[in-house]
Amino acid sequence: MKENNKWEIISHSLEPSQLMVDETLFHTANGYLGVRGNFEEGYVDQYDTIRGAYINGFYDISEVKHGEKLYGFTESKQKIINITDVQGIQLFIAGDRFSLFEGETLAYKRTLDMQAGVVKRHIEWKSPKGHILEIDILRMASFVKPELFLIDYTIKSINYEGEIVLVSTQIGEVSNYFNPNDPRVAAEAEKHLTVTQIRREADIDLVYSETNASNLKVTSAVKHVVSTRCHIESTSDKSSLTSKIKFNIKLGATERLIKYCIFTDSIRYSDCNQSALCSMYEVTEMPIQKLYESQQAYLDSFWKVADVVIEGDETLQQGIHFSVFQLLQSVGKDKYSNIAAKGLSGEGYEGHYFWDTEIYMLPFFVLTDQKIAEGLLSYRYEKLDEARKNARIMGHQKGALYPWRTISGSECSAYFPSGSAQYHINADIAYMFVQHYLVTKNVDFVINKSAEVLFETARLWMDTGHYIEDTFRIDAVTGPDEYTCLVNNNYYTNVMAKYNLKWAVKFYEVVKKYGDITHLSQSIGLTEEEVSTWEEAYQKMYLVYDEKLDINPQDDTFFSKARWDFSNTPKENYPLLLHYHPLHIYRYQVCKQADTVLAHFLLEDEQKLSTIQNSFEYYEKITTHDSSLSTCIFSIMAARLGDTHKAYDYFMQTTRLDLDNTHHNTKDGLHTANMGGTYMGMVYGFAGLRIKETGIYFNPIIPEQWDNYEFKICYQNRMIKVHMSKERCIFELSQGEALIIDVWGNKYQLIDTIIIDLDKRKESENA
């Protein structure tokens, strides 16, 4: 279905089962605004659709209903909401309504152009009366002017001369998608947005709306610009505006409608109504080509740094470009937003932000765009007070506990065993603040933001854990593997908490040396004595280990459980979470996703290589990969252990997951963390990149299917280009001062270019 073109995603499908998937794959977004790839003219009535548009961080509040509510249970949650539908454009020719499901479709092609940042549809259509038109529709969400979404609608007459009627709509009466049988999407139908006013100012149509519970406001503005003399008749009701546009087209002529759509919200704008008008005036005063050129220039600059190139595997290259582009489309670029689990492509997981951001998506931005990376980390800093409140709700007297899933900062998880109990989110966030520091050496950011986050998350571990037999232990938590809940001493949680505590001590010394530790300590009530308790805890952190097997068990009791009977589990019963009661799953050795294996990737120096190898082999046999966060980690670790074939196979599953709809739920939105996992699979997997306190390390390998690969990373005010082929590995310092890099355990001074001949390296090793 998806043609192999490394810079384009192409679909010719009009199959009902594929249409909702394509709504996701061909959505248009810029980090602020996202519009699903619905047909302007719609489908036929019996076809399902998720018609939606979303603003990052714009939400309403829903009640969380509990059959048996206990103290501290989440009472309400935020959820991203569907906003005004501006997509509608109906076309009528000689009384026939254009539809790809009526008349005759002579040609159809939909294209996502990842270099130009646009989605296009090309259609050749014969009406029931025999009139033939060529229709080209282009959509763009501007990266330069984030409030702007536009539809560029072009009609060419092949054998018709006469009147064309376009009916353009702006509908404020919208609702969110729901599915009561899938816990990954909303379970109930709810109306969240109410139209408060509709008006027309000059030739701009405006819809003002307000959320029902959060009292946030959103304004949509639409203006139509037509290439020829036309008559526009506008009508409205209480919740929508309709513009009927009539013009004549000559035989062989081409005419064009540009539908400019602006969205503004009250989170970011003090007066979103006036801001929408100002934005509309600004974009419509410049030539349309200027908007396209600015989009192209933005993406040229982006790809210059962010591109990951593979020669010899175009299918995979397409998937990598798709993943990287979707990260850019998904990421919030202001302090009010983050990256939702589905980006801005759909309503799965209700638009919530998870640990996915820090562990799977932030690495890409830390290494390629540190301004965006700092914005994502700043979002967590801005929500620190909410995390402190959450900690108190959970019974902790000190520290901060970041919510498992959130938009505005409070916990949105209704099922605490696999939600709020995932305390590791604290350590995940702390880990990426540390990684940011190691990559940037930005001491000011540590002083102003990172240190306080690490101090408060460190405090949480001290209030959660306790000492037994002179070891520090953490009970009743859930690790990344959601098929094993509420356990003692989850290896991942403990080792990440250790890192959190260790770096809280180190950041204390950084602030003490370069900043004002007295002021910060006084503001949060921190003492030297408390910091010393963090040091003792990380040094005595208990990391569960089975000496006989030379493996890190996932937790204290994991190995004592029965193994899941995979041989007698029908294929149609995956994912397990949709077919088995949680308690049934919890009683078995079965993993939804990488857990201990993930810990071995993030903190490989905590264990010897044999333990990592044995753990990988053990968990590989019992992991279902029901989570999209899993295969990328197994690919990275297979590469680390030298198994190129496995690394490639897992990587292929990762890279094509949404393009091939392998989890069968791409209709609900992209698996955005998996997109970050694709990038990590290349850079941390095949290139073997590790960023440590002691420096930068590479351990590159190359699959036999590839001729070569290359990418660039930003590291401590430097740009490093890595090129790996079957013959040689080349490191090029494109920008910045010389530095020492470690490649395959050997130190090299990178001044300009280092070329390592692989044959000579093998000869040296054999000697």
Measured CA to CA, the distance from residue 320 to residue 681 in angstroms comes to 10
Residues 664 and 731 in one domain: no
Q: Report residue 108 as tokens.
A: 């159809």
Alpha carbons 453 and 748: distance in angstroms, whole number? 35
With beta carbons less than 8 A apart as the criterion, state whether 81 and 176 touch.
yes
What's CA 79's distance to the chain center, in Å? 16
Matching residue, tokens 């759909």: 346
Phi, psi of 285, rounded to the nearest 5 degrees: -80, -15
- What is the full DSSP assignment across 428-462? HHHHHHHHHHHHH--HHHIIIIIHHHHHHHHHHHH
Which domain range does residue 515 map to?
A: 353-544
CATH of the domain at 260: 2.70.98.40
Last residue of a domain, one of 672, 698, 732: 672
Question: Which amino acid, 116?
Answer: A
Which residues contact residue 399 at a Cβ distance below 8 angstroms, ignoring those fewer than 6 apart?
Answer: 388, 391, 456, 457, 458, 459, 460, 461, 462, 463
Instruction: For residue 107, list its beta bridge partners.
Output: 124
Residue 4 confidence (pLDDT): 61
Amino acid 763: pLDDT: 58
Residue with tokens 């001074």: 749
Q: Is residue 385 domain-shared with residue 525, that is, in the same domain?
A: yes
Q: Is there a contact between 83 and 35 (Cβ–Cβ < 8 Å)?
A: no
d(CA 321, CA 313): 12
Coarse DSSP helix, strand, coil percentages of the chain, rounded to the nearest 5 percent: 35, 25, 40
| C-beta of residue 473 within 8 angstroms of C-beta of residue 467 | yes
Residue 611 is encoded by which pair of tokens? 């333990």
Look at residue 86 and give its three-state secondary structure.
coil
Q: Please identify which residue in the block is written with the tokens 């252990």.
A: 641
CB 320 within 8 A of CB 53: no
334 within some domain: no
The active-site residue out of 8, 350, 456, 482 is: 482
Res 1: pLDDT? 42
Instruction: Name the token pair of 717.
Output: 């005010």
Domain annotation covers residue 593: yes
C-beta separation of 151 from 224 below 8 A: no
Last residue of a domain, one of 281, 297, 328: 281
| pTM (two decimals) | 0.96
Amino acid at position 560, single letter: S
Residue 57 zone, left/alpha/beta (φ > 0; ψ -120 to 50; rest): left
**Count of CB atoms within 10 A of residue 481's CB?**
28
Instruction: Give the 3-state secondary structure of residue 516.
Output: coil
Cα(81)–Cα(344) distance, integer angstroms: 11
Q: How far apart are CA 481 and CA 471, in angstroms?
A: 24
pLDDT of residue 739: 97
Residue 101 covered by a domain:
yes
* Distance from C-alpha of 428 to C-alpha of 496, rounded to nearest angstrom: 7
DSSP 751: S
The structure tokens listed for 488 are 């003692």
Measured at the CA of 107, the angle between CA 104 and CA 109, to 5 degrees, comes to 130
What is the per-residue pLDDT for 177?
84
Give the model's pLDDT for residue 69: 87
- Residue 643 and residue 761 share a domain: no
632/283 Cα distance (integer angstroms): 41
Q: What is the pLDDT of residue 190?
A: 75
Res 761: pLDDT: 74
DSSP string of 565-634, one letter each residue: -GGGS-GGG-SGGGTS-HHHHHTEE-BSS-SHHHHHHHTGGGS-HHHHHHHHHHHHTTB---STTSHHHH
Burial degree of 512 (CB within 10 A; 0-12, 13-18, 19+): middle
Question: Same domain for 535 and 628?
Answer: no
Residue 420: beta bridge partners?
A: none
The Cα 463–Cα 534 span in angstroms is: 11
Where among 672, 698, 718 does a domain terminate? 672
Residue 737 annotated as catalytic: no
Total domain count for the chain?
4
Separation between Cα atoms, residue 381 and residue 369, nearest integer Å: 19
The β-bridge relationship of strands 148-157 and 162-171 is: unpaired
For residue 113, count other CB atoms closer than 10 A to its CB: 19
Q: In terms of domains, do 266 and 180 share one?
A: yes
Q: Are residues 536 and 565 in the same domain?
A: no
CA dihedral sign of residues 261, 266, 269, 275: positive
- Number of Cβ within 10 Å of residue 749's Cβ equals 9
Query: If the chain, 767 residues long, is cut into consecutive pieces of 10 residues, what is the mean pLDDT of each piece?
Result: 78 94 98 98 92 97 89 94 97 97 97 98 98 98 98 98 98 85 62 94 95 97 97 94 97 98 97 97 97 98 98 94 98 95 96 97 97 97 97 97 97 94 98 98 98 98 97 98 98 98 98 97 97 98 97 98 96 95 97 98 98 98 97 98 97 96 94 98 98 98 96 98 96 97 96 91 60
Q: Is the same domain home to 18 and 134?
A: yes
Residue 353's Cα: distance from chain center in Å? 9
Q: How many helices (H) and strands (E) does the chain have?
A: 21, 32
530 and 555 belong to one structural domain: no
- Local structure of 185: helix, strand or coil: coil
For residues 199 and 229, state if they share a domain: yes
First to last CA, the chain: 51
CA distance 311 to 710: 9
**What pLDDT is attached to residue 342?**
97
Block residue for tokens 């996502």: 112
- Report the alpha-carbon distance of residue 125 to residue 164 in Å, rounded: 14
Same domain, 487 and 633: no
Do 360 and 377 sit in the same domain of this protein?
yes
Report the distance separating Cα 635 and Cα 643, nearest Å. Answer: 9
Cis-peptide into 417, omega within 30 deg = no
The answer as to whether 714 is a domain residue is yes
What is the domain-level CATH number for residue 367?
1.50.10.10
Is residue 498 within 8 Å of residue 538, measured between CB atoms?
A: yes
Please state, in angstroms and rounded to a whole number, the distance separating the CA atoms of residues 577 and 415.
Answer: 13
CB 494 within 8 A of CB 480: no
Residue 240 located in a structural domain? yes
Residue at 340 is within a domain: no
Query: Does 640 share its domain with 661?
Result: yes
- Residues 323, 363: Cα–Cα separation, whole Å: 14
478 within a domain of the structure (yes/no): yes
Q: Is residue 111 part of a domain?
A: yes
| Separation of alpha carbons 128 and 608, rounded Å | 71
